[in-house]
Amino acid sequence: MNSSTISTELPKTETTAEWPKTETTAEWPKTETTAEWPLWEVFVRAKAGLDHKHCGSLHATDARMAVQLAREVYTRRQEGVSVWVVKSIDITASDPGDKDMYFDPMEDKVYRHPGFYELPDSVNHM
Amino acid sequence: MTSASGSIHLEVTPPLQYRLRIADTCLIHAQRLAEWCGHGPVLEEDIALTNMALDLIGQARALLTQAGSLAGQPGGEKPSEDELAFLRDERQFFNLTLVELPLRKASVHAPGGDFADTVLRNFLLAGWLKALWSRLLSSNDEELAAIAGKALKEARYHQRHAADWVMRLGDGTGESAARLRAALERAWPYTAEMFQRDEVDAHAEAAGLGPARDALRAEWQIEVAAVFAEARLDLPADTPFISTGTRGVHSEHMGFILAEMQVLQRSYPGGAW
């Protein structure tokens, strides 16, 4: 791109692109009707400005169905204005066995909390 | 107004019948969808079908309440939404025949229990209701226009949800496609009534109350054809048969659905919970 011209157009990301066509995933064989549908994790944004919070999971054949079923199952009582779904298999989690070495050492590091420090009077509105 | 049987009998005027046609179509469609409660193919879809049934009952309630205010004798008592739903006899229901046909339970005319019938009926009706509600937004009856404003959002979602299933089944396996085609053969003859203009439609159109049914056809057919193309389904040819539910003359299934729907209120008149 010429350095003097700056494109004002937003790149087409996945969220701005059109709805994905219904597609079957590779690990979901087309002819198999008895196998379980893949599991999806559901994140719901309660209102504009807040972040999406994990609220549960559901089974769906693809992303488009997962969004619709998330709407059906998790926003029936006006819980949200936006829904994200992520394939559970795509989430990498920390190992519960690592909990001791990962998280316990933070127990005695109170100086990492801002309240630990006394601020001079001249610093207002912190 | 109330007979010895406990039934109410309405003096049916065109504006009243126009509203009851929509209200009863929503109500009976909801009653059929609700039969899936606890029987859906997967838990998530079970909840989805019940949610849609509840949307439709909400629409029926709003319309029946309004119809009730038009229905009573001048100065007399006005039937409530519950009285209209539970104390009318079959001939005073004016729903499309399509919605009263068995959906989950088997009958001579439909094997029942086939999810394809549900998917397809939902899709055909949601598109029809969407076209109807979008025109009722400009009804000269402000209350009806307000009901349409709320219902339109619901119908749009119902159509998307059902259309996705039509595409999944139609463009799915050989088995799912065959079942969907069979469901279409069963349902299609009953779609003629959705666009059958009569004097009630003409009255509503002339009065600015709402569209005549034949005015909905073009939009509906374009949308149905687009989804059918994705689903590899052909639009069936029209048949000469025209069902008559909207005139109060129903199929043999209607009595059974009303019996199930009304038994509680007729056994315990005025019962509330």
Mean pLDDT on B225-245: 95
- Domain spans of chain A, in order of start: 39-116
DSSP notation for B249-261: ---TTHHHHHHHH
Please enumerate residues of B whose Cβ is less than 8 A from a Cβ of A: 42-45, 47-48, 51, 160-161, 164, 167-168, 171-173, 175
> What percentage of chain B exceeds 70 in pLDDT?
95
A41 vs B104, more confident: A41
Has residue B171 got a pLDDT over 60? Answer: yes
Range with the poorest average pLDDT among A18-32, B157-171, B240-254: A18-32
Distance CA A43, CA A61 (A): 18
Mean pLDDT on A7-11: 51
Contact B243, B252 (CB under 8 A): no
Amino acid in the structure at residue B131 = A
Mean pLDDT on B267-271: 87
Distance CA B14, CA B19 (A): 9
> What percentage of chain A exceeds 70 in pLDDT?
71
Both tokens of residue B4?
Answer: 């010895």
Distance CA A71, CA A52 (A): 14
Task: Name the DSSP class of B112.
Answer: -
B143 vs A124, more confident: B143
Q: Does A113 touch chain B (CB under 8 A)?
A: no
Distance CA B196, CA B213 (A): 6
Mean pLDDT on B240-248: 97
Q: Does A58 touch chain B (CB under 8 A)?
A: yes
Three-state SS sequence of B154-220: HHHHHHHHHHHHHHHHHCCCHHHHHHHHHHHHHHHHHHHHHHCCCHHHHHHHHHCCCCCHHHHHHHH
pLDDT digits (tens, 9 = 90+) for B33-51: 999 999 988 999 999 999 9
Beta bridge partners of A54: A43
Distance CA A98, CA A102 (A): 6
Has residue A29 got a pLDDT over 90? Answer: no
Distance CA B232, CA B225 (A): 10
Residue B250 pLDDT grade (very low, low, confident, very high; cuts 50, 70, 90): very high
CATH class of A39-116: alpha beta
Range with the poorest average pLDDT among A39-48, A103-112, B13-22, B214-223: A103-112
The average confidence (pLDDT) of chain B is 93
pLDDT digits (tens, 9 = 90+) for B201-222: 999 999 999 999 999 999 999 9
Both tokens of residue B167?
Answer: 């595409």
Contact B105, B260 (CB under 8 A): no
Q: Which of B42, B47, B173 sits opposite A59 (nearest CB)?
A: B42
Q: Which of B44, B164, B173 sits opposite A22 (nearest CB)?
A: B164
pTM of this prediction? 0.84
Phi and psi at residue A58, in whole multiples of 5°? -160, 170
Contact B217, B63 (CB under 8 A): no
Q: Which of B44, B160, B161 sits opposite A73 (nearest CB)?
A: B44
Contact B254, B100 (CB under 8 A): yes
Q: What is the pLDDT, as a whole number, of residue A27?
A: 47
Mean pLDDT on A51-55: 96
- Long-range contacts of the stretch B180-184 (C-beta < 8 A, 24+): B180/B116, B180/B119, B180/B120, B180/B231, B180/B233, B181/B233, B182/B114, B182/B116, B183/B114, B183/B116, B183/B117, B183/B119, B183/B120, B183/B121, B184/B120, B184/B233, B184/B236
Distance CA B94, CA B83 (A): 15
CA atoms within 13 A on the CB side of B229: 6
- Angstrom distances, CA of residue B255 to CA of B3, B92, B101: 18, 12, 11
Domains of chain B: 14-267 (1.20.1260.10)
Beta bridge partners of A57: A41
3-class state of residue B41 by DSSP: coil
Please judge whether A76 and B47 are an interchain contact, meaning their C-beta atoms are less than 8 angstroms apart. Answer: yes
Has residue A113 got a pLDDT over 70? Answer: yes
Mean pLDDT on A88-107: 92
CA atoms within 13 A on the CB side of A24: 14
In this structure, how many other beta carbons lie within 10 angstroms of the beta carbon of residue A86?
A: 15
Please judge whether B47 and A72 are an interchain contact, meaning their C-beta atoms are less than 8 angstroms apart. Answer: yes
Q: What is the pLDDT, as a whole number, of residue B77?
A: 83
Q: What is the pLDDT, as a whole number, of residue A25?
A: 43
Residue A28 pLDDT grade (very low, low, confident, very high; cuts 50, 70, 90): very low
pLDDT digits (tens, 9 = 90+) for B88-128: 999 999 999 999 999 987 766 556 668 999 999 999 999 99
Beta bridge partners of A85: A42
ipTM field:
0.82
Distance from CA of A24 to the nearest CA of B (A): 10
B4 vs B91, more confident: B91
Residue A123 pLDDT grade (very low, low, confident, very high; cuts 50, 70, 90): confident
Containing H/E element for B153? helix B142-170
Has residue A15 got a pLDDT over 90? Answer: no
Q: What is the pLDDT, as a whole number, of residue A36?
A: 84
Has residue A13 got a pLDDT over 90? Answer: no
